[in-house]
Chains A and B, each alone.
Chain A
Amino acid sequence: MESLQEAAALPGSLAMHIDKEKEDAADAHSQACKRIPTLPEDIWHHIHSLMPLRDAARAACLSRDFLRFWRCRPNLTLNLTTLGWTNKPGEFRCKIDSILRNHPGIGLKTLQLDLLEDEDEITFSDIDRWLQVARTPGIEELILTLFANNYSSLYERQEEYSFPLSLLSDEKVRSSIRCLDLDSCAFRPTPQTIIGPLRSLTNLHLNSVRITGDELECLLSNSLALKELHLFDCDEIVTFKIPPVLRQFRFLHVTECYELTVIENRAPNLSVLEFSGDIIGEISQVKNVRLMRSNVVHYARVVLPSVMPNLEILRILSDSEEVNTPMLTTKFLYLRHLTFRLLSGSTFPPSYDYFLSLVSFLDASPSLETLYLEVRQGSVKSESVFRDSSTRLRQMPEHRHLCLKSVMMEHFSSDKGLVEIACYILKNAVSLECMTLDTNYGPRCHGQRDKICLYMADSYLKDAPRAVAAIKSYINCNVPPSVKFTVLEPCTRCHVREAR
């Protein structure tokens, strides 16, 4: 009865909630008492930590233990998804505030704040206060995303949030933090503010963060355990150096940092690289590269064999190629996978020959096992194999490829160069197991009702029957019986509808 009195003091909906539950309780009670779970407390704590945030908040009503589990929940991911959508201004802020005010920080391992909403209500001092919860021994992950998806407001804000460096000067935080992921704020580490090593930091992600090359270097030189660095849209960085003391550093991923032109790497074990500018220094151990720049095909073929002799995976994406790739004697001795995407908004200049460029790569790669190829031009005005009746495919000198097993060509058109490439591979790749020619590009629905194929412009769709005809006339006759040969035509559901 006492609890009913308590309930009377609650607001209407909650009181009704409790009343109804009390009614249910009677019959449940006897049943429940028969099978009181006698699991140890640490198991219940583990189970509680696996519950989604809202469920975990409700389960705090089970017992004092559960209330305690809630108050030292190890993972706090606070965003619209976990807290529930709201359209009342200030409510999002209030929810975050009440959770973090009641969390003493004990046991906290992951704090993720996605503050994309309520930006008019949330103040910088709110964020400062909330982040203080992470000032605790054992904190491992700190992920902060500010008002990134609303650009107009971002520009209206005269000032921007500056990540509090005092957090990283705290010995507790410095010794345990493994992952720091910041989005849309300023981050200005200096030798005066980073006063000791971040001993556990392995992953650093900076997205649209205001930081200079010097400031980044300052952080790097204190992050001796760093394994991965991801930079996206950090346009104050012009150049920076990765110091040799980063012996575990393996993964560098830089995208859309348009001001950043040169990275000097002195870390001895860099192995995976995505960067479109110039990288100098210690790069001979790199095994996996993704490159994106103009004339990248030429650059990769001419420069990489000598500077990255251990390459195993190479992915190149080019939006314009003007310089033909020469046949060279240098080799990619260990290259196993090659992705070759030439995506031009217009057409390549008539003098550019991507067939010869690709042959130059294939002939330089004796260990190549898989090839993914996509050539897409702004319009399909390029040289169709059917353009004149006397078309002859070029015959290259025989060059046996012993390892190539799998070839995928997306957006296969009737373009003569593509037909020549397919024929060249079928004739020379003696171990080939499968070849797929897809007249589409991008994801396909594969007949699943809840998915759709990527939209294709009319000009591409119109060429698809010609592509299929080209395959029948020129390629089918070259397919050895041992090769699993697949032709994927436009989707009868998505693309037929589009073509109408």
Chain B
Amino acid sequence: MAAPESGDGNNGAARMVTLISSDNTRFEVEAAAASLSQTLQLTILDGGGGGGDGIPLPNVDSATLSKVLEYCIKHAPAAANGGAPNATAVDRAELERFDNEFVNIDQSVLYSLIMAAHNLEIEGLQSLVAKKVADMIKGKSPMEIRRTLGFPDPTPEEQAEMNAHMLEYGWAYE
């Protein structure tokens, strides 16, 4: 279906754009949802991604991209309202419920999502996934944090610095 070339013309069907993942899977999605990405926004405003062209995303695989788009589709209406001053408490609660469920995922998927959100500059998603990682370590000891985030053990020099830090901030470990 012929979509208006530019702008967010309200006549009929919403404009669609095509995104192509690193493993060559094509995703057709509403321009408004894809535009949550600052990186894509300009290309889309210029009329890119429509017709048979598609926008290649060499840094995002299909599994991650599908997850990213799930987020964008859900959040696009609220974003279109400009921070949604009109959103009801019910709408906000529903988005919150969605967000909580959305980040309830395997850690490797979470890291891919962080990278994708970062590369595509999707502000809301960047904060959501970063907050998830921050929450994962809540109340944990340094070793538990290390294990949770998958960090290697410190070198002896690093360990000495850490110990000095622990002495200074003993209260944070109580």
Contact = CB atoms under 8 A, between A and B. Distances in A.
B143 to A, nearest CB: 4
| Chain B: number of interface residues, binned into ranges | 35 or more
Nearest to B169: A57
A365 to B, nearest CB: 22
B171 A95 contact: yes
Contacts of B151: 32, 36-37, 62-63
B93 interface: no
A33 B146 CA distance: 11
Interface string B60-104: 000000000000000000000000000000000000000000000
Given A51-B134, A58-B145, A2 B156 contact: yes
A187 B166 CA distance: 38
Contacts, number: 134
Interface stretch (A4-12, A141-149, A384-392, A472-480): A4-12
B138 A55 contact: yes
Interface SS of chain B: helix
Contacts of A454: none
B41 interface: no
B159 interface: yes
Given A14-B170, A40-B118, A6 B159 contact: yes
A47 B114 CA distance: 10
Contact of B152 (A32, A70, A83, A91): A32
A28 B170 contact: no
A395 interface: no
B146 A36 contact: no
Interface string B148-164: 01111110101111110
Interface string A4-30: 001101110010011001001100110
B143 A21 contact: yes
Interface stretch (B25-33, B49-57, B125-133): B125-133
A291 interface: no
B108 interface: yes
Given A32-B146, A54-B172, A84-B174, A43 B152 contact: no
A91 B170 CA distance: 12
B140 to A, nearest CB: 7
Contact of B141 (A17, A46, A67): A17
Given A36-B150, A55-B134, A61 B162 contact: yes
A67 B162 contact: yes
A84 B156 CA distance: 31
A57 to B, nearest CB: 4
Contacts of A63: 151, 154, 158
A214 to B, nearest CB: 37
Contacts of B165: 60-61, 67, 70
A496 interface: no
A61 B130 contact: no
B153 A67 contact: no
Interface in A435-467: none
A3 interface: yes
Interface of B: 107-108, 111, 114-115, 118, 126-127, 130-131, 133-134, 137-143, 145-147, 149-154, 156, 158-163, 165-174
5 contacts: A3-B154, A14-B167, A35-B108, A36-B152, A55-B137
